[in-house]
């Protein structure tokens, strides 16, 4: 599977995105504005974005929260670009659309192509869920962070991928 062959690349790009978020988090921790100030890092959410699939923008978002968790009013996040994986979904969708055209001689509409993307995205969502522990273990930036790690859909149900 494509995840197995890209763990190092995914861990590297995850580390870069996480580092960007951690820099922003540290800025907020030291903010002069009390209403923006963050407490100790408590939770990290890695969210799969269906809007990213539909718009061909980053599919994953890393959100950092203090003890206020998702009720916090100041967001601190970074998008995680996973082009080494995401390009394959679009290639597979184009292939499926071409096969349908050959079979039925009917062009796939944009709406139908988006439905193919969404259907295929379920596999990728599950793939990231299954490989996140491995990605975290190979990401140096993530090694020393003592907090709860979650994975799921943005503002949806999540699963623990690592506890402190």
Domain boundaries of the chain, sorted by first residue: 4-162
**pTM: predicted TM-score of the whole model, two decimal places:** 0.85
pLDDT (tens digit, 0 to 9) for every residue of the chain, 164 residues total?
Answer: 588 899 999 999 999 999 999 999 999 888 888 777 888 899 999 999 999 998 989 999 999 998 876 666 778 899 998 988 888 888 989 998 888 888 888 888 989 989 999 999 999 999 999 999 999 999 998 988 999 999 998 666 677 677 66
Radius of gyration of the chain (CA): 18
CA distances from 49 to 20, 70, 86, 163, 164 (A): 19, 17, 12, 23, 25
């Amino acid at each position: 599977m494509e995840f197995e062959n890209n763990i190092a690349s995914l861990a590297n790009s995850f580390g870069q995105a996480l580092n960007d978020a951690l820099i922003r988090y540290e800025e907020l921790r030291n903010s002069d504005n009390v209403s923006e100030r963050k407490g100790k890092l408590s939770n990290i959410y890695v969210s799969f974005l269906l809007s990213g699939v539909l718009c061909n923008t980053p599919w994953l978002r890393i959100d950092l929260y203090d003890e206020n968790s998702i009720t916090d009013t100041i967001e601190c996040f970074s998008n995680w670009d996973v082009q080494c994986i995401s390009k394959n979904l679009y290639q597979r969708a184009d292939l499926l659309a071409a096969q349908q055209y050959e079979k039925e001689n009917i062009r796939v509409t944009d709406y139908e192509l988006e439905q193919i993307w969404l259907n295929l995205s379920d596999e990728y969502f599950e793939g990231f869920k299954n490989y996140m522990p491995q990605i975290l273990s190979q990401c140096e930036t993530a090694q020393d962070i003592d907090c709860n790690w979650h994975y799921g859909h943005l503002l949806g149900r999540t699963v623990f991928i690592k506890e402190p």
